[in-house]
């Protein structure tokens, strides 16, 4: 009887999970209509069936649960949990990767990688003496690029670390670049588990790895060719390596720190925290520190040289001066945003990390490493609280905290398991499973709600519009675009003009000038940009705006030509 109830409970639980994940179904089979959109009822029935089975055969169930807990709370159990997390990351990457370059960020990185592949650090816009409309050179800079040191020169806004990694993959084919971020995502999840091992609690590492794999922040960034996941993976790798304490590991830690700085230079001060374990007074400390620095210095020199070529100073960047991005006045608005974003997307559970000192204060063997990891979390927060703040609904900027989120989850898991391990073994497995399954479902639902699984469909407008411009428009095409200003250059190799940077009274002049110089003007806008484009130039009575003719609709992208 108990065995049958267990089987029924398993089937009901599976049914509830399928309905929850898919949103339900509505089928008609042999004239009969079958539909279900409610997952909570079968989930409750599954719990009830399980509870009844456990009561009927409580001795046997108790023995099974106790054995299950002992297996789970071991290195082998933690590795199985981590393997599930890694498998999910691979599946999510395959199903939801955007495989698209567009907007400012992904085009900025991919466009920079293409320059590096061509052996260049700067690009150029097609200036002409005939282009006399206001700020002509500025209007031809695509998203993701800024003004270079010379006339007609444009340079990437973003640091060179990720493009340096993308460039070799780009030589293999354009689609190869979309493998890089998922590969770092797999490593980041595995490294989270290894951090738990290094801090003396493998299961905490495994649980943290599983929760990280369903993190809305990670899932949102995992599917885009952007730098957040690689940067986080490099910093976590550096921490793991310095925790090992050998000379070889110190050398590799220096290399990973160097790569992390090339990817995100503003986090360079975290190097001091990573290097702390190397300063412990023991034999070979100076050798390890020297090995660490030997890998770090060349990267700093390379970064300084690239920034000098592009921006005129080793300390300059594509974002302008430090004062443009960082200010003490930004701390209060960011403190009102980041905690809310994290709580909304990762549940209040994530704040258990704040209690971690009570946990590791009793564990002398790992206390030093735990202190470094805890300080690293605080360092990441301190790096971004003074940074520019964003709108309260722009939750995805939790991506800046991604180097700290795995460590926060490890500490939160360690604190939660500290409590779970208090009752008898029979109850531990039930408490742990209910906690982890509940958190995973909540975070996956949050990821779905925030659009992490819709990006693939949304981003296809960029390659589709780029392919149309390349294949259907004449070689003389000059495209007015804003959101598509970089992707048109990337996919179609056509020059673009930022209509949003044009003076509102200069559209007629631009159209006439382009035609006089042998170019044919077109417009590519998103649905959300279409009305803004029209309103801007209708307000100044530009005749050209009334001669727009739609020629293609590609998802959210619209293509227009100007009738003569």
pLDDT digit string, tens, across residues 421-480: 988 877 788 889 889 999 999 999 999 999 999 999 999 999 999 999 999 999 999 999
Q: Which residues are within 8 A (CB) of 439 and not within 5 positions of it... i.e. 6 or more apart?
A: 211, 347, 349
**Is residue 172 over pLDDT 70?**
yes
| Residues 412 and 480 placed together within one structural domain of the fold | no
Residues 199 and 337 in one domain: yes
Residues 6+ apart with CB under 8 A from 150: none
Q: Three-state DSSP class for 520? A: strand
What is the total count of domains within the chain?
3
Domain hosting residue 392, numbered range: 177-450
Q: What is residue 54's predicted lDDT score, i.e. its pLDDT?
A: 66
Among residues 38, 66, 94, the one where a domain terminates is 66
Q: Where are the alpha helices (DSSP H) in 23-149?
A: 40-56, 58-72, 75-96, 105-117, 136-139
Kindly state whether residue 102 falls inside one of the protein's structural domains. no
CA nearest neighbour of 270 among 279, 280, 258:
258
Evaluate the CA torsion angle 89, 270, 342, 159 in order and state its sign.
negative
Q: Which of 10, 35, 66 is the last residue of a domain?
A: 66
What is the rounded distance in angstroms from the CA atom of residue 40 to the CA atom of residue 555?
36
**pLDDT digits over 315-352, tens only?**
888 887 766 778 999 999 999 999 999 999 999 999 99
Return the closest-CA partner of residue 466 out of 448, 497, 488. 488
pLDDT at 148 over 80: yes
For residue 140, give the DSSP letter.
T
116 in any annotated domain:
no
Q: Is residue 258 part of a domain?
A: yes
Residue 29: which pLDDT band, with cuts at 50, 70 and 90? Answer: low
Whether residue 30 has pLDDT greater than 60 = no
Sequence-ordered list of residues with C-beta below 8 angstroms from that of 486, at least 6 positions apart, any chain: 101, 102, 103, 104, 107, 108, 111, 142, 143, 144, 145, 496
* Selected residue with higher pLDDT from 145 and 282: 145
Report the alpha-carbon distance of residue 375 to residue 379 in Å, rounded.
6
Residue 27 pLDDT > 70: no
Task: Tell me: do 375 and 237 sit in the same domain.
Answer: yes
Q: What is the pLDDT of residue 153?
A: 94
Do both 442 and 521 map to the same domain? no
Measured in residues, the chain has a length of 564
Q: Report whether pLDDT(6) > 80.
A: no
More confident residue, 402 or 22: 402
What is the reported pLDDT for 2? Answer: 60
Q: Does residue 39 carry a pLDDT above 80?
A: no
Burial of 119 (0-12, 13-18, 19+ CB in 10 A): exposed
Residue 198 has pLDDT above 70, yes or no: yes
**Rounded to an integer, what distance in angstroms lies between the CA atom of residue 150 and that of residue 310?**
10
Find all residues with CB under 8 Å of 408, minimum gap 6, and list them.
350, 353, 377
Please give the share of the chain, as a percent, with pLDDT higher than 70: 93
The answer to whether the beta carbons of residues 550 and 527 sit under 8 Å apart is no
Task: Tell me, yes or no, whether 420 and 550 share the same domain.
Answer: no
Q: Indicate if 220 and 308 belong to the same structural domain.
A: yes
- Nearest Cα neighbor of 270 from 404, 128, 146, 156 is 404
The CA-atom distances, in angstroms, between 368 and each of 254, 278, 365 are 20, 11, 8
Does residue 388 sit in the same domain as residue 444?
yes
**Is there a domain that residue 495 lies in?**
yes
The answer to whether residue 219 sits within a structural domain is: yes
User: Are 298 and 398 within one domain?
Assistant: yes
The tens digit of pLDDT for each residue in 503-520 reads 999 999 999 999 999 999
Give the DSSP letter string of 313-339. Answer: STT--TT--HHHHB-GGGHHHHHTTHH
User: H or E element: which one contains 29?
Assistant: strand 25-29
Task: Looking at the structure, tell me whether residues 256 and 323 fall in a common domain.
Answer: yes
Considering the domain architecture, whether residues 516 and 371 belong to the same structural domain is answered as no
Half-sphere exposure (Cβ direction) of 494: Cα atoms closer than 13 Å: 32
Is 133 a domain residue?
Answer: no
Q: Is the pLDDT of residue 84 over 60?
A: yes
| Contact criterion met (CB below 8 Å) for 397 and 341 | yes
Same domain (yes/no): 466, 542: yes
Last residue of a domain, one of 450, 482, 511: 450
Domain contains 295: yes
pLDDT band at 251 (very low <50, low <70, confident <90, very high): very high
Average pLDDT over residues 404-425: 94
Burial call 7-29: b when 16+ CB within 10 Å, e when fewer: ebbeebbebbbebbeeeeeeeee
Q: What angle do CA 288, 289, 291 make, to 5 degrees?
A: 65
Tokens of 189: 């999840």
Alpha carbon 244 to its chain's center: 28
558, part of any domain: yes
Whether residue 357 is found in the same domain as residue 479: no
Whole-prediction pTM: 0.90
Give me the pLDDT at residue 26, please. 63
- Count CA atoms closer than 13 A to 127's CA, side-chain side: 13
What sign does the CA torsion over 558, 222, 498, 463 have? negative
Residues 93-147 have pLDDT tens digits of: 999 999 999 989 999 999 999 999 999 999 999 988 899 999 999 999 999 999 9
Q: Average of pLDDT values for 294-308?
A: 94
pLDDT at 392: 93
Query: First-to-last CA distance in the chain?
Result: 82
What are the angstrom distances between the C-alpha of 55 and each of 50, 59, 144, 362? 9, 9, 62, 38
Closest to 529 (Cα-Cα) out of 494, 491, 556: 556
Q: To which residue do tokens 């199985």 refer?
A: 80
Quick one: which of 531, 532, 528, 523 has its CA closest to 552? Answer: 523
């Amino acid at each position: 009887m108990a065995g049958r109830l267990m089987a029924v409970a398993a089937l009901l639980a599976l049914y509830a999970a399928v309905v929850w994940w898919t949103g339900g179904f509505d089928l008609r089979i042999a004239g009969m209509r079958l539909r279900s959109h409610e997952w909570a009822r079968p989930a409750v029935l599954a719990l009830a069936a399980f509870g009844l089975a456990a009561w009927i055969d409580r001795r046997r169930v108790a023995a099974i649960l106790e054995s299950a807990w002992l297996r789970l709370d071991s290195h082998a159990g933690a590795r199985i949990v981590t393997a599930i997390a890694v498998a999910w990351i691979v599946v999510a990457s395959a199903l939801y990767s955007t495989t698209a370059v567009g907007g400012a960020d992904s085009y900025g990185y991919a466009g920079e990688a293409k320059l590096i592949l061509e052996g260049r650090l700067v690009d150029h816009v097609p200036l002409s003496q005939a282009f006399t409309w206001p700020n002509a050179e500025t209007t031809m800079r695509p998203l993701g690029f800024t003004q270079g040191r010379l006339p007609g020169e444009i340079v990437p806004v973003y640091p060179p670390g990720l493009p340096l990694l993308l460039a070799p993959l780009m030589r293999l084919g354009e689609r190869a670049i979309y493998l890089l971020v998922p590969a770092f995502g797999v490593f980041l999840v595995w490294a989270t588990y290894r951090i738990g091992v290094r801090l003396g609690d493998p299961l905490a590492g495994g649980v943290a790895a599983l929760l990280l794999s369903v993190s809305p922040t990670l899932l949102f960034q995992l599917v885009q060719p952007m730098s957040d996941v690689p940067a986080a993976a490099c910093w976590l790798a550096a921490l793991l390596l310095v925790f090992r304490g050998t000379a070889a590991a110190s050398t590799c830690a220096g290399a990973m720190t160097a790569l992390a700085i090339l990817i995100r230079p503003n986090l360079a001060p975290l190097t001091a925290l990573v290097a702390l374990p190397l300063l412990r007074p023991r034999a070979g400390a100076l050798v390890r520190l020297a090995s660490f620095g030997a890998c770090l210095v060349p990267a700093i020199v390379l970064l300084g040289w690239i920034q000098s070529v592009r921006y005129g100073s080793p300390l300059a960047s594509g974002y302008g001066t430090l004062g443009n991005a960082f200010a003490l006045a930004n701390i209060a608005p960011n403190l009102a945003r980041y905690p809310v974003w994290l709580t909304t997307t990762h549940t209040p559970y994530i704040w258990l990390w704040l209690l971690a000192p009570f946990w590791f204060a009793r564990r002398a063997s790992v206390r030093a490493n735990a202190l470094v990891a805890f300080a690293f979390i605080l360092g990441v927060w301190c790096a971004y609280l003074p940074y520019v703040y964003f709108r309260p609904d722009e939750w995805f900027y939790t991506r800046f905290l991604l180097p700290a989120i795995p460590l926060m989850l490890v500490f939160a898991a360690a604190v939660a398991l500290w409590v779970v391990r208090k009752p008898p073994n029979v109850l531990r497995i039930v408490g742990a499973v209910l906690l982890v399954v509940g958190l995973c479902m909540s975070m996956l639902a949050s990821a779905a709600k925030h659009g992490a699984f819709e990006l693939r469909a949304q981003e296809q407008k960029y390659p589709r519009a780029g392919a149309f411009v390349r294949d259907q428009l004449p070689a003389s095409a000059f495209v007015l675009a804003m959101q598509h200003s970089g992707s048109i250059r990337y996919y179609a190799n056509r020059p673009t003009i930022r209509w949003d940077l044009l003076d509102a009274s200069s559209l007629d002049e631009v159209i006439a000038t382009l035609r006089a110089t042998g170019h044919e003007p077109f417009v590519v806008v998103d649905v959300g940009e279409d009305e803004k484009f029209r309103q801007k130039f209708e307000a100044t009575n530009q005749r050209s705006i009334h001669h727009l003719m739609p020629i293609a609709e590609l998802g959210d992208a619209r293509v227009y030509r100007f009738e003569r």
